[in-house]
Amino acid sequence: MRETNPNSWEARADAHSFYGFTDLPTIADRGATIVTSGHGPYITDVHGRDYLDANSGLWNMVLGFDNKELAEAAKAQYDTLPGYHAFFGRMSDQAVMLSEKLIEVSPFSDGKVFYTNSGSEANDTLVKMLWFLWGAEGQPQRRKIITRKNAYHGVTAVSASMTGKPYNSVFGLPMDGFLHLTCPHYWREGKDGESEAEFTARMGQELEDMIAREGADTIAAFVAEPVMGAGGVIPPSEGYFQTIQPILQKHGIPLISDEVICGFGRTGSDWGCQSYGFMPDAIISSKVLTAGLFPMGAVILGPELSDRLTRASEAIEEFPHGFTASGHPVGCAIALKAIEMVMSDEIKGNIARLIPQFEAGMARLAEKKNIGEWRGRGLMGALEAVQDKATKTPFPGNLSVSERIANACTDQGLICRPLGQSIVLAPPFILTDEQLAEMFDKLEAALDKVFAEVA
Ligand SMILES: *Cc1c(COP(=O)(O)O)cnc(C)c1O
């Protein structure tokens, strides 16, 4: 099935490039897809084949793969000040403007921003900030970080420890002091006969029990994605954050919203925390921040944490942290343009128009006998494949059902992501009605093909 020519792009990729987060048997069988260009929501491979990318790249390229305005913002900045750092009291004007903009569009009344090159680094930075400020406030033992199983917070040693995925055990992670609560996925984790309200109450009790067991004065923060993204698009159970937040407040534990996926419109609101009606103490941002055109992350501290971090820094005369490319002026210029576009009436209107069609398409596919549930929020969703719908029994792992579905999609010119036993969709915000219909038609054909083979 794959190219055998040793000079092919596929063979050259195998020879000298590592594949991260890639199913290697699929590569051995099919070869990698080598991408050369893009237009709108489509990418084009070295063989000239087009694919509708129903994952917006990795959730981030929401304004398409050939956005001229973003490219022009980058070009203009490269022509003016093509790079600079943010150390030793120097900082580009673009970084100053982006921080103002981020606080303005954030749910916070005031606050401050710190830049990184990725979402993982933003989570690492947040944890270091918390360790630093708790220490400065005379509570150096407050170091534990609570997250949830299935959460995805990144791949650096700290953010991978926050991530609640079993694969991190191959690295001997998580490190000590990273605690994981049950994933608030009612469909999968709910007990027989347990109502959703009872399930949510149990999640709250589990947090209370963990805090009692560990000691509130050993816990630095609770970090959560509003909707878990890379865990398989898992919205929280009804009332989850309304149950969790008062418990954290009672114990003085900050609530951090990892909005790397949810931020900037994905859930149908500007921020995921707004979709779920809670107010975090800080927000982690990346991905849509630059619409995928520049590696960049940001820690956005609300007023209380930013005051505390400022005081702690003043006490030792600096905050000893930063990356060489933190606040890169080209990244900031792109982010300013991306935020302007993503928050424009045009894009917000398109998202609002697409959401009901997206939900209807997902609901229709979920009627298939081998789809256990569809779940999601806004323009992110997952279809969970099952062998038996009534008992929610998954297909045997060795059938690689979700990989096969994704491969069948690729064969038809559609990119979508296999995740566990589910297929994840997170289309770009610029999709037209015709492109949305194309996405569902191709996905349906792939589902029917694979279910006919395995069922
Ligand atoms: C992708 C992601 C990260 C990590 O971002 P990178 O830029 O890949 O390091 C962190 N948190 C969430 C919620 C993410 O989806």
186-223 tens-digit pLDDT: 999 999 999 999 999 999 999 999 999 999 999 999 99
Q: Work out which ligand 1 atom sits closest to the CA atom of 123.
A: 10
CA distances from 324 to 14, 120, 236, 267, 291 (A): 31, 16, 37, 32, 22
Q: Is residue 1's pLDDT more than 70?
A: no
| DSSP character at residue 278 | -
Under 8 Å between Cβ of 436 and 428 = no
Per-residue model confidence (pLDDT) at position 320: 97
Q: How would DSSP label each residue in 122-183?
A: HHHHHHHHHHHHHHHTT-TT--EEEEETT----SSHHHHHHS--GGGGGGT-SPTTEEEEPP
| DSSP character at residue 8 | S
Name the pTM for this structure: 0.97
The domains found in the chain, sorted by start residue, are: 33-66+345-454 (3.90.1150.10), 70-342 (3.40.640.10)
Using CA atoms, how far apart are residues 339 and 357, in angstroms rounded to an integer? 25
When pLDDT is cut at 50, 70 and 90, the band that residue 2 belongs to is confident
Buried b (16+ CB within 10 A) or exposed e, 163-200: bbbeebeeeebbeebbbbbebbbbeebbeeeeeeeebb
Residue nearest to atom 6 of ligand 1 (CA): 119
Using CA atoms, how far apart are residues 381 and 303, in angstroms rounded to an integer? 33
- For the chain, the average pLDDT equals 97
What percentage of residues in the chain have a pLDDT greater than 90?
98
Q: Ligand 1: distance of its center to the CA of 286 in Å?
A: 7
Q: Work out which ligand 1 atom sits closest to the CA atom of 295.
A: 7
When pLDDT is cut at 50, 70 and 90, the band that residue 3 belongs to is low
Structure tokens at 139: 């509570």
Summarised one tens digit per residue, pLDDT across range 47-74 is 999 999 999 999 999 999 999 999 999 9
| DSSP character at residue 341 | H
Evaluate: CB of 162 within 6 angstroms of ligand 1: no
Per-residue model confidence (pLDDT) at position 429: 98
When pLDDT is cut at 50, 70 and 90, the band that residue 9 belongs to is very high
The crossing angle, in degrees rounded to 10, of helices 119-136 and 303-316 is 70
Average of per-residue pLDDT across 292-316: 98
Evaluate: CB of 231 within 6 angstroms of ligand 1: no
Summarised one tens digit per residue, pLDDT across range 341-363 is 999 999 999 999 999 999 999 99
Summarised one tens digit per residue, pLDDT across range 74-88 is 999 999 999 999 999
Nearest to 297 by CA among 89, 20, 22, 102: 102
Q: Ligand 1: distance of its center to the CA of 156 in Å?
A: 10
When pLDDT is cut at 50, 70 and 90, the band that residue 6 belongs to is confident
Evaluate: CB of 228 within 6 angstroms of ligand 1: no
Residue nearest to atom 10 of ligand 1 (CA): 153
